[in-house]
Amino acid sequence: MINKTVANVTEALKGTEDGMTFMLGGFGLCGIPENAIAELVRLGIKDITCISNNAGVDDFGLGLLLQKHQIKKMISSYVGENDEFERQMLSGELEVELTPQGTLAEKCRAAQAGFPAFYTPAGYGTEVAEGKETREFDGKMYVLEPAFKADFAFVKAWKGDEAGNLIFKGTARNFNPCMCGAATITVAEVEELLPAGSLDPNEIHIPGIFVQRIFQGDTFEKRIEQRTVREKA
Amino acid sequence: MLDKNGIAKRIAKEVKDGYYVNLGIGIPTLVANFVRDDISVEFQSENGVLGMGPFPFEGEEDADIINAGKQTITTLPGASFFDSALSFSMIRGQHVDLTILGAMEVAENGDIANWKIPGKMVKGMGGAMDLVASAENIIVAMMHTNRAGQSKLLKRCTLPLTGVGCVTKIVTNLAVLEVTEEGFKLLERAPGVSVEGIQEATEGRLVVEGDVPEMNI
C-alpha cells in the first residue's frame, strides 16, 4: 500500500504558490473542498486561476477568496448568486471564462485521461466557439476544446483511506471525481479517513492512483444554498 | 392566458411513459408537479442525480443531495448519483429523451438565447449549451413577451446565443408553437386567447393553418 496520508491541511497545500492554476470540486456549495479554501485564504495565495463550476456565495466557498481579491481568473459555467463576483467581473478586476458545464467537466476528465482535446457540439455557433477550431462529423458541427492544465486539484470526498481511495456521497460527487488526477497534484479532503482495507474495493469511486495527498478535514460546515422543503401532509 | 403553473401543466402532457427528462430552472421545475402518476418517468438533474424526488420534509434536508438549482431534494427508489462528466455523457450522448428549459429569446429558426445580457447580466450558461446542442427534443417554457411587453419569439435573436437551430417546441402563456422551416407554427391557443392576440405578441413569422384549437389542460 502506498500511503497518501498527510497530517493536516497545511501539509496538504505545501507547494501552492501565487499565480498557480487550481481546480476545485463542488456544485454550488455542495461538495466543495472547504478546508483547502480556508487554508488558501490563510496563506494569502494570490493571482489564482480557479477552475470551478461555480464561484461560491459572497461569504462562503470561493466567495471567501474573492473577498480577499486572491483570484485573478475564474473558469466556470455559472456564477450567479454572488454579488461581489459580479461586481469584480463587470468592473474588469476579475477575468472570467465562462464554459458550458459539460465541456468544463470533460476538460477535467480529458486531463485526467490523457486526451489533449476533444470535440463537443456544445457552444457551436455561439460566442463560446469564437476562435476555436470546428469540424463536421456525420453532418453535425463540433467545437474542439483543449484539456485543462492545472497545478493542484482540490477535491472533497465523503470517505477515503490511507491509499487515497475515495467514496463520494450524493450529489456532493459532481466535479470532484473528474478533477482527481487532472492536475499535477491532487489533494483530497475527506470527512472520514480510514485505514487501508476498511473500504470495500468494489465500492471505491476513485482509486488512490489519482490522488497524491489525502487528509481528514477539521470541519465541514456543508452550508445549504437553497433550503427547500415540503409540508407534511 | 396561462400562469406559470398552467404552462408547466401543458408541458407535462408532452412527458411520455419511459422518458428520462431534464428540467431547467424556473417554470420547467414546476413540470414535475403535473406529470401523470400512471406513467414511469425519471428526472435527471445535471449536477449528478437521476430519479429525483420531491423536496424533503422539514428537518430531513441533506446538504449533500441537491438539484441543479441548488435546492435540497430527495431521491426515489431506483435513483442513482454520478459525477458531472458522466452526467453530461447522458446529455451529450442523447440518452435523455426530453429537455425542458427557459429562454429569454427564441428565433423562428430554432435559435435560443438564455444565458447573457451584455453589460447587465452574466450568470453563465451552466449546462444549457450542452443540453441544447445535443438534445433532439427540446421544449422551451417561457412567457410570450418580456416585462417590457416585447415579443420573445423573434425573427432573429438579439442576445448572445445559447444554441443554434435546436428548439423544437415552445409553450408560452399564450400558445403552443412548433418550430418549422416556415416559422413558428401555431398548434394551440391558451384558454381565452385569440389567434390575433398571439399574432400581435409574436415578432417572428407565425404560421397559422386552419382552425387552431384551444389547449386542453
Mean pLDDT of A17-34: 98
Query: Which residues of B carry out catalysis?
Result: 46
CB within 8 Å of chain A, chain B residues 36-95 = 45-49, 54-58, 60-73, 81-85, 87-88, 91-92
pLDDT exceeds cutoff 90 at A225: yes
pLDDT exceeds cutoff 80 at A148: yes
The confidence score (pLDDT) of residue B121 equals: 75
The confidence score (pLDDT) of residue A139 equals: 96
Per-residue pLDDT band for A132 (boundaries 50, 70, 90) equals very high
Task: Report the gap between the CA of A178 and the closest CA in chain B (Å).
Answer: 7
Mean pLDDT of A116-127: 98
Give the pTM. Answer: 0.96
Which DSSP category does B82 fall into?
A: -
Which DSSP category does B7 fall into?
A: H
Does A28 contact B55 at a Cβ distance shorter than 8 Å?
no
C-alpha cell at A141: 458541427
User: What does residue A65 show for φ and ψ, rounded to 5 degrees?
Assistant: -75, -30
CB within 8 A of B74, min separation 6: which ones? B52, B53, B54, B55, B56, B60, B65
Model pLDDT for residues B64-93, shown as the tens digit of each residue: 999 999 999 999 999 999 999 999 999 999
The confidence score (pLDDT) of residue B119 equals: 80
The confidence score (pLDDT) of residue B25 equals: 87
The confidence score (pLDDT) of residue B79 equals: 98
pLDDT exceeds cutoff 80 at A223: yes
Does A101 contact B130 at a Cβ distance shorter than 8 Å?
yes
The confidence score (pLDDT) of residue B83 equals: 98
Mean pLDDT of A74-84: 90
The confidence score (pLDDT) of residue A57 equals: 94
Contact by Cβ (8 Å): B11, B22: no
Residue of B58, B88, B162 lying closest to A229 (CB–CB): B58
Mean pLDDT across chain A: 97
pLDDT exceeds cutoff 90 at A86: no
pLDDT exceeds cutoff 90 at B100: yes
C-alpha cell at A105: 467537466
Q: CA A223 to CA A226: how far, in whole Å?
A: 9
Which among A11, A23, A61 has a CA at the least distance from the CA of A41? A61
The confidence score (pLDDT) of residue A88 equals: 92
The three-state (H, E, C) secondary structure of chain A, written as one string: CCCCECCCHHHHCCCCCCCCEEEECCECCECCCHHHHHHHHHHCCCCEEEECCCCCECCECCHHHHHCCCEEEEEECCCCCCHHHHHHHHCCCCEEEECCHHHHHHHHHHHHHCCCEEEECCCCCCHHHCCCCEEEECCEEEEEEECCCCCEEEEEEEEEECCCCEECCHHHCCCHHHHCCCCCEEEEEEEEEECCCCCCHHHCCECHHHCCEEEECCCCCCCCCECCCECCC
C-alpha cell at A57: 456565495
**In what side-by-side order are the strands of the sheet with B183-189?**
B75-81, B49-52, B42-45, B20-23, B98-101, B138-141, B169-171, B175-180, B183-189, B206-207
Model pLDDT for residues B172-205, shown as the tens digit of each residue: 999 999 999 999 999 999 999 999 999 999 999 9
Q: Is B158 on the interface with A (CB under 8 A)?
A: no
The confidence score (pLDDT) of residue B108 equals: 98
Which DSSP category does B72 fall into?
A: B
Contact by Cβ (8 Å): A50, A71: yes
CB within 8 A of A5, min separation 6: which ones? A162, A193, A214, A215
